[in-house]
A = this chain, B = another copy of it.
């Protein structure tokens, strides 16, 4: 039985508050003997770790490096293997698009075609501004195909995203359509082709879209064709409110993370600014919700850049702001990450992620700091990310007894 089915009949509501802080990419590896968390001066996190339940979570499975999608789904309490997010949808969420249950999303490239043969899959890597001009041109001339609304959104350089919005909610397999990118130059582009019966309609719309785009782009020097891949609809998962009985708010400045939170039905107002601004927003909305997801991005960005000092500084910055969060005295406070991003590797990694759970109902007194090596000693042990949500609910008094 999966975790959500197990806990659903046990859920009870109360007035408790749960705050989940995701320090994106927090986990690290030693450089000159110390990890980023160990090198950073973090008196507040360390004091909190001393009185909290600590451990490390495994985002997906041992040895598996998660993308941002599976990383967040896991800490949100969704099985990241069962609830995979299609590439088209993830790209659309990252661009801040409002993806609905009626949308099929696809990642697209502008490309160059000559005599029916693809000569450049990236249209000479046209600049972002040029890509923006071209998507606007397409959007102007293509508003609708058959009964689907077509929404274009520019990305970086030659990349863009298309939403095909149907007048009804999709079937689970309506977006099962093959990629049109042959992945090699010197080949003809492939036709979008339905893998399931329910995808025939959308597949035809995609075919017409490609033909129309070719007509509209025919006089462009480089970007005279489009390639589509990663056709996908929203994953069919219960909302956070259905699964956990929580009214929830996402506080994130990057569209991708708001998109991931929206996917599970959190409220996701568009906010901007620093971590300090995020915490101000948390305070402002504190009475209105049961559950708060607060996302801190720049720790990961520095990890990706291999900037050890930068990552440590961003951790210190958060540490300095932590007392503001503690002052709210949430019933349950979890501080963790969606995955590790060791500066040593300049990328996401599979390493278990330091995790701290503050509540009156923990042992505490085991770990001396918030770091990878201290969390290994902790009372939470090394646990799958998906188990953080039932622990949060239990500590908040929101789960009834199982069996008599």
Pair A363/B403 contact, Cβ less than 8 Å: no
B63 and A390 form a contact (CB under 8 A): yes
A390 vs B106: C-alpha distance when bound (angstroms): 31
Task: Give chain B residues whose Cβ lies under 8 Å from the Cβ of A84.
Answer: 403
The answer to the question of A41 belonging to the interface, with a C-beta cut-off of 8 Å to chain B, is no
Q: Among B10, B60, B61, B373, point to the contact of A64 (Cβ < 8 A).
A: B10
Q: Is B363 in contact with A402, judged by CB distance below 8 angstroms?
A: no
Interface flags, A384-397, vs B, CB<8A=1, else 0? 00010111111100
Smallest CB gap from A61: residue in B: B6
Closest B residue, CB atoms, query A376: B379
A195 within 8 A of B: no
> In the complex, are the beta carbons of B6 and A64 less than 8 A apart?
yes
**Contact among B6, B373, B380, B382 for A81, CB-based, below 8 A:** B6
Given contacts A376-B379, A378-B376, contact A87 B404 (CB under 8 A): yes
User: Which B residue sits closest to A396, measured CB to CB?
Assistant: B63
A372 surroundings in chain B (CB, below 8 A): 363, 379
Q: Among residues 348 to 379 in chain A, which have CB atoms less than 8 Å away from a CB atom of chain B?
A: 348-352, 360-366, 372-373, 376-379
Contact B349 A65 (CB under 8 A): no
* Binary B-proximity of A290-326 (CB < 8 A = 1, otherwise 0): 0000000000000000000000000000000000000
Q: Within 8 Å of chain B (Cβ to Cβ): is A66?
A: yes
Chain B residues within an 8 Å CB radius of A366? 373, 376
CB-based contact A69/B404 at 8 Å = yes
Are A67 and B363 in contact, CB atoms less than 8 angstroms apart? Answer: no
For residue A85, CB closer than 8 A to chain B, the reply is: yes
Interface-side segment among A27-35, A114-122, A151-159, A269-277? A27-35
Contact string, A52-92, partner B, CB cutoff 8 A, digits 1/0? 00000000111111111110000000001110110100110
A-B contact pairs, 14 of them (CB 8 A): A63-B391, A64-B394, A65-B402, A66-B401, A67-B402, A67-B403, A67-B404, A68-B404, A69-B404, A70-B403, A85-B404, A350-B391, A352-B379, A372-B379
